[in-house]
Structure 1
Amino acid sequence: MSSRELIDPESLPALDAMLAAVPGGLHAIPDIVQRRATSRAVRVRPEVPADARVDKEDRTVPGPEGEPDITVRVYRPKGATGPLPGVYVIHGGGMIMGDVEGEDPTATWLCDALPAVVVSVEYRLAPEHPYPAGPEDCYAGLVWTAAHADELGLDADRLAVYGGSAGGGLAIATALLARDRGGAAIRFLMPLYPMLDDRNETPSSHAVTDVGAWDRSVNVEAWAWYLGGREADGYAAPARAEDLSGLPPTYIDVGTVDLFLDEDVDFAQRLVAAGVPTELHVLPGSYHASEKVAPDAALSRRFWALRLDALRRALA
């Protein structure tokens, strides 16, 4: 049976419309610069409430030692008083695409709905900047966020790290770096359908080849560009991390028609075995990032409701 036959019927038309707009999908565009430009031109912006009252500011902050400064976008609810919980957001894009602007709808929604101070980080992308540029930039932005909590009006003891897909893998890598380097304290970790394993050996990584959202061929390509010929370690590919103890309480969700299904479920089980409080949701019929491609589907609304509930409980 084709993977496409397993997709939630309500979430399929939006995917087909996206593939009609970009025949073959974004991954059929071989030039990465053109692929990024096309992605920016066609991306949807689903989650922002029409009446969101959010102030936004781009800041330039120190990057990793000896490396360029990085940009973060800071979101704060208008008129908010007192320290708020914080959410540090890492965008997706397979380590090769994506930016703060593309994650703006989600960051705005989180800021408005929780409410919280949100800091979204712009990290360097492969293949121009292979590993370890991405996680090091993300970690530097987290350290800056925690160090400037008072200035930002956030409670450093209530700080979550949030990211989807590549951003989910980078969220876990950032948490591992914070644990191992004694950096910023993280209250909660929310990696959504995270990209974790460069080996591409699981059954789901072999099964998802014809969906058109994020299939095996582009995943293999993205890992090769991201690693740049280096051997992956546990920070590059968190599925390889041997010790998961000491990570913050974690929420993971993933769909059954996502090639990351098996590696994400396995990672969640390893977190539980390591003593990390872990919440896992596997949603039937969901393809990779379907809640963004088909935001009006009931399945998509369930994704967002589960996440918001988990964040509110964790950051209360």
Structure 2
Amino acid sequence: MARPALDPELRALLADVPLSTGLTHEMLQQIRKIPSPPFKTDAERRDVTVGEITLTVFRPSGLTGPAPCVYWIHGGGMVMGDRFSQIDIPLQWLEELGVVVVTVEHRLAPESAGSTLVEDCYDGLLWTVENARELGVDRIVVAGISAGGGLAAGVALMARDRGGPEIAAQVLICPMLDHRNDSTSSRQHSGEPGVWTREMNEFGWRSVLGDAEEVSPYVSPALAGDLSGLPPTYVDTGTAEVFRDEDVAYASRIWAAGGNAELHTWAGGFHGFDAIFPGARLSTAARRTRTEWLARTLG
């Protein structure tokens, strides 16, 4: 199928990145051995183990009064990554907006499957709320990228349906929302190497769901029949990526339910472009726009 063209700068940068069409268990094991890129921060750091998960809390140095918290869920197709994957995104908010960041390391598929991953993320959110006073937190934003964006959406649905905790906003960055994997944008990104293809997406969802006949909307949020009552939502995606159509549809359904959502679809952006190449012009614009929305929403 024809597909939207990549942004010229991003296309040139991507030429030096090894790409593949599919993903296998052998490839996954090799990828998991690659550590997350190092990061620098002057923030105070605390690591906490809660049941089967690990959380890291970053607080701006010298923070004295209560501050908003960004509860961060990493990407990785639900099969890879750790709590420091893409951590530069929320740490930028820490530096610019003065927020506390709590990042969660949930269990991964296929070793853990079904609703385990989203329940892990919800448990980490509960811990954050229960310790909000000690952490100096007065509001919580749930945010995530790719698979983490899908898990963030699932956590927001859980919080709504279970009567809490209250979430001030959700930021869904190129979120993985629909296990059916049959949209036009999914089919456009099949059969050729890419950052995240339809074949890779199938591998990720199969790892989580196996042969399950019933799929929870907390795991695959696109299945949720009712998207009312959700917190203010930011969704962004690229025109040249597999999740484009399910992300646009999710924002549209929030509007249809009378909700508050802001959607940005970046022309020429591939999956995770601003995480992989944060210095590119399109990435800079996407990050700036996202940060400005979060600043407005938090007041």
Q: TM-score, normalised by structure 2?
A: 0.94
Quote the residue 1:192 is aligned against: 173
Match of 1:233?
216
**Given the alignment, which residue of 123, 129, 132 partners 1:146?**
129
The amino acid of 1:253's aligned partner reads: D
- In the TM superposition, what is the alpha-carbon distance from 1:151 to its structure 2 partner? 0.3
How far apart, CA to CA, are the structure 2 residues paired with 1:17 and 1:57? 36
In the alignment, which of 17, 35, 54 is matched to residue 71 of structure 1? 54
State whether structure 2 residue 140 is matched by structure 1 residue 162: no
The counterpart of 1:104, out of the listed 87, 94, 114, is 87
The equivalent residue for 1:212 is 194
Shift of residue 217, structure 1, vs aligned partner? 0.5
> Do the aligned residues in 1 keep the contact of 2:73 with 2:145 (CA within 8 Å)?
yes
Q: How many angstroms does 1:182 deviate by? A: 1.2
Which position in structure 1 is the counterpart of 2:239? Answer: 256
Task: List per-residue Cα deviations over 1:180-232 (Å, max 9, x = no partner).
Answer: 11121001011111101111111111001225100010001110011122231
Letter in 2 for 1:138: C
Partner of 2:15, secondary structure, is helix
Aligned equivalent of 1:294: 277
C-alpha distance 2-37 of structure 1, shift in aligned 2 (>3 A): farther
Q: SS state of the match for residue 205, structure 1? A: helix
Write out per-residue CA displacement over residues 237-295 of structure 1, whole angstroms, 9 at most, x where no aligned residue: 00000011111110000000011111111111000011110100011000000112222
2: CA distance between counterparts of 1:82 and 1:138? 26
Alignment correspondent of 1:64: none
1:24 CA drift (Å): 3.1
* 1:1-316 paired onto structure 2 within 5 Å: 3=3, 6-19=5-18, 24=20, 27=23, 30-38=26-34, 40=35, 52-61=41-50, 68-155=51-138, 158-209=139-190, 210-230=192-212, 231-316=214-299
What per-residue deviation string (whole Å, max 9, x for no partner) do you get for residues 98-145 of structure 1? 101223322322211211011000100000001211000000000110
Q: 1: CA distance between counterparts of 2:17 and 2:2?
A: 19
1:96 aligned partner, one-letter code: V
* Deviation of the 1:70 alpha carbon: 1.4
What's the secondary structure of 2:98's corresponding residue?
coil
Provide structure 1 residue ranges, at least 5 long, that are not aligned to the other structure: 62-67
Q: What does the per-residue CA deviation read over 1:31-89, in whole Å, with 9 as the maximum and x for residues that have no partner?
A: 42222224x3xx656xx6x7x4311111112xxxxxx4311010000001100111100
Identical-residue share of aligned pairs (%):
43
Q: How many pairs does the alignment contain? A: 297
Question: Aligned in 2, Cα 1:150/1:26: closer, same or farther, shift over 3 Å?
Answer: farther
TM-score normalised per structure 1: 0.89
2:81 aligned counterpart, secondary structure: coil
Instruction: In structure 2, give the amino acid aligned to 1:308.
Output: T
Q: 1:65 corresponds to which residue?
A: none
